[in-house]
């Protein structure tokens, strides 16, 4: 992968399926999808903030930012699996 833009991920799932799968799992973990390490980390951090009662605003901001990041991560996953590779157009 020599292209350092999102277009560099186009068709990665077909050309290199193992690398595409690993990239997908890592992006899902960064998003905080359940059953990943990222979910556990975010869950316990936000749970501690809610239990303290002082940082509810921080929980709201974190959830909103997680939703924004999920949008961008899912765009990369879409490029990996659903867009054709640059040479296969």
Q: What is the pLDDT of residues 53-87, one digit of tens each?
A: 899 999 999 999 999 999 999 999 999 999 998 87
Q: What is the pLDDT of residues 18-62, one digit of tens each?
A: 999 999 999 999 999 999 999 999 999 999 999 998 999 999 999
In the chain, what are the domain boundaries?
9-83
For residues 2-15, give the mean pLDDT. Answer: 87
Q: Torsion angle of alpha carbons 80, 82, 88, 89, nearest 10°?
A: -130
Nearest to 67 by CA among 35, 43, 42, 32: 32
Supply the pLDDT for residue 18.
97
Whole-angstrom distance, CA of residue 6 vs CA of residue 1: 11
């Amino acid at each position: 992968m020599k292209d350092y833009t999102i277009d560099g991920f186009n068709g990665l799932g077909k050309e290199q399926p193992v690398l595409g799968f690993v990239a997908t799992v890592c992006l899902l973990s960064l998003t905080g999808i359940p059953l990943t390490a990222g979910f556990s980390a975010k869950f316990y951090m936000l749970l501690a903030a809610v239990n303290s009662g002082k940082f509810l605003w921080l929980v709201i901001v974190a959830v909103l930012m997680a939703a924004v990041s999920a949008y961008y991560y899912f765009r990369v996953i879409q490029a990996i699996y659903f867009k054709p590779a640059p040479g296969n157009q």
